[in-house]
């Protein structure tokens, strides 16, 4: 029985990580393309005596290699598919040209086994992003197909050695220490809170140590790569300030508005930490806090390196007076209200639910319909009114755009309404989000709890 309330921990002392990138590197081909290969890799996730896991990774690494570019740069990546099933890469949070968004079946044909696909796009915003498989993501991401995508400011705000990326994931291991593959696609996970793991890693390692210098300012970039787990953390306990959410900087570094802060699947958070003593990140959603990354203060930095303030990215402000409003009613799941649900143009009844795996719906439609949920002219402002009529929290993500959460439960939000690409909405809650539909193409709006997306919480809109 997998408990979502406790984690396995390796007994051996975790190795010490050297602070600073590059932790990873990607090879450039002669034509300027970064070579990324998706393929099966046998790897020991758990301790050395444990059985190796049948992972699917980018360039054989977990997480995949850190792709690090500069804002405004043109990024060229050649994906080679060495898997036995089709795949594609989505560049999460990048306001990208539609044809490069990497959504199998919507923005591109899936890349077949043995084939390649060339991604070629410009990164308009500095910040913390990530990339991951976008074909059967519930399976491919759970097996390891994801990596960090960091877009540096024109002049990087922090020195490389004071700028750390932490990719967090929870894996579901079985008794022999290997990835539990048999439980992938389990209907119980799909109808409840999604797939939870019992082994938490940061950059592929359990409970790593990082060495920091006392009194020096650091940027810690957190990326939640888990299929469904929401991490609860309390960065104010070690005096951290929030620099950015989902890649987009706050006007100035701020104390967290809530405690604990939730980091939902796919969300990112950049923190500013100036350590005076040792500290640890703790996962607080369980019965007892689980420390999952340790920071040790090793001496003082003699000459402290200053950092530059983060400048806002050029995201257009929505015009709330003239915005078009669309309502999404989220239904389904365990303990949820079942409405008449249409899937692939036909009404689902009784046995269809376990057979098709469709268990959730937006406005009574499970997964992508032939026609977009709405079509809108480029440049118009959109308000999405989202009603969570289910018993679970969901982490809702929009492709190709960032938005502001302007209202929750009918009340205006006054915490500055930071830009986001993914927002959490609790059971029975409602929220309104707003953005300018300024990016032409076909865009997904889906739950980033990947089992929920696969089981119906997925729709699309078109900007023309």
Residues in touch with Cu ion (CB under 5 A): 394, 447, 449, 452
Say whether residue 444 binds ligand C2O (CB under 6 A): yes
Rounded CA-CA distance 286/461 in Å is 37
Identity of the residue, 88 or 388, whose beta carbon is nearer to ligand C2O in the bound complex: 88
195 contacts 3 by C-beta, under 8 angstroms: no
Q: Which is nearer to Cu ion, 315 or 395 (CB)?
A: 395
Describe the strand order of the beta sheet including 268-273 as a list of residue ranges.
Answer: 199-202, 163-171, 218-224, 268-273, 241-245, 248-254
Query: Reduced to 3 states, what is the DSSP secondary structure of residue 189?
Result: helix
Cβ burial of 459 (10 Å; 0-12, 13-18, 19+) is buried
Rg (CA), the chain: 21
Does the footprint of ligand C2O cover residue 266 (CB under 6 A)?
yes
In this complex, which beta carbon is closest to ligand C2O, that of residue 178 or of residue 227?
227
Q: Distance from CA of residue 166 to its chain's centroid?
A: 12
Instruction: Say how far apart CA 130 and CA 421 lie, in whole Å.
Output: 12
Q: Reply yes or no: is the peptide bond before residue 63 cis, omega within 30 of 0.
A: yes
Q: Which residue, 173 or 368, has its beta carbon nearer to Cu ion?
A: 368
In the list ligand C2O, Cu ion, none, the entry touching 447 (Cβ below 5 to 8 angstroms by class) is Cu ion
User: Minimum distance from CB of 189 to ligand C2O (Å)?
Assistant: 18
Q: Tell me which of Cu ion, ligand C2O, none is bound by residue 449, counting a contact when its beta carbon lies within the kind-specific cut-off of 5 to 8 angstroms.
A: Cu ion
Within 111-170, which residues bind ligand C2O (CB under 6 A)? 132, 134
* Size, binding site for ligand C2O by CB under 6 A: 10
Q: Is residue 424 at the binding interface for ligand C2O, with CB under 6 A as the rule?
A: no
By beta-carbon proximity to ligand C2O, the closer residue of 173 and 266 is 266
Q: Name the residue nearer to ligand C2O (CB basis): 92 or 162.
A: 92
Respond yes or no on whether the N-terminal peptide bond of residue 22 is cis (omega within 30° of 0).
yes
- From CA 172, how far away is CA 4, in angstroms rounded? 10
444 binds, among Cu ion, ligand C2O, none (CB under 5 to 8 A by kind): ligand C2O
For the CB of residue 165, give the shortest distance to ligand C2O in the complex, in Å: 17
Instruction: Tell me which residues touch ligand C2O (CB under 6 A).
Output: 90, 92, 132, 134, 266, 397, 399, 444, 446, 448
């Amino acid at each position: 029985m997998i408990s979502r309330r406790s984690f396995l921990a390796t007994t051996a002392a975790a190795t010490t990580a050297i602070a600073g990138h590059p932790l990873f590197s990607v090879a450039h081909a002669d034509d300027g393309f970064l070579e990324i290969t998706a393929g099966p890799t046998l790897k020991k996730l758990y301790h050395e005596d444990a059985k190796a896991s049948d992972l699917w990774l980018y360039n054989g690494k977990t997480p995949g290699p850190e792709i690090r570019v500069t804002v405004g740069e043109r990024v060229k990546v050649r994906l080679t598919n060495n898997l036995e099933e089709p795949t594609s890469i989505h560049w999460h949070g990048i306001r990208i040209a539609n044809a490069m968004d990497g959504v199998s079946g919507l923005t591109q044909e899936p890349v077949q086994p043995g084939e390649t696909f060339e991604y070629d796009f410009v990164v308009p915003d500095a910040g913390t992003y990530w990339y991951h498989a976008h074909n059967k993501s519930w399976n491919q991401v759970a097996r390891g197909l994801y990596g960090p995508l960091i877009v540096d400011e024109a002049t990087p705000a922090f020195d490389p050695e004071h700028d750390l990326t932490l990719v967090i994931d929870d894996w579901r291991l079985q008794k022999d220490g290997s990835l539990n593959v048999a439980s992938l696609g389990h209907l119980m996970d799909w109808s409840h809170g999604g797939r939870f793991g019992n082994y938490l890693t940061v950059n592929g390692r359990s409970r790593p140590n990082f060495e920091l210098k006392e009194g020096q300012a650091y940027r810690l970039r957190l990326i939640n790569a888990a299929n469904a787990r929401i991490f609860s953390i309390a960065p104010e306990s070690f005096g951290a300030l929030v620099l950015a959410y989902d890649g987009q900087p706050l006007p100035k570094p701020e104390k967290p508005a809530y405690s604990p802060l939730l980091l939902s699947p796919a969300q990112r958070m950049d923190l500013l930490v100036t350590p005076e003593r040792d500290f640890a990140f703790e996962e607080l959603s369980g019965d007892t806090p689980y420390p999952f990354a340790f920071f040790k203060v090793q001496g003082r930095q003699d000459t402290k390196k200053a950092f530059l303030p983060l400048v806002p990215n050029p995201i257009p402000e929505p015009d709330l007076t003239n915005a078009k409003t669309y309502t999404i009613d989220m239904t389904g799941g365990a303990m949820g209200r079942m409405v008449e649900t249409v899937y692939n143009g036909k009404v689902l009844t009784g046995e269809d639910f376990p057979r098709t795996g469709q268990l959730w719906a937006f406005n009574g439609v499970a997964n992508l319909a032939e026609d977009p949920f709405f079509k809108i002219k480029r440049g118009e402002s959109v308000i999405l009114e989202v009603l969570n009529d289910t018993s679970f929290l969901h982490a809702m993500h929009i492709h190709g755009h960032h938005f502001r959460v302007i209202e929750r439960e009918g009340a205006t939000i006054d915490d500055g309404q930071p830009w986001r690409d993914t927002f959490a909405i609790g059971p029975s809650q409602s929220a309104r989000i707003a953005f300018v539909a300024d990016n032409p193409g076909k865009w997904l709006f889906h739950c980033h709890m990947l089992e929920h997306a696969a089981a119906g919480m997925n729709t699309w809109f078109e900007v023309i």
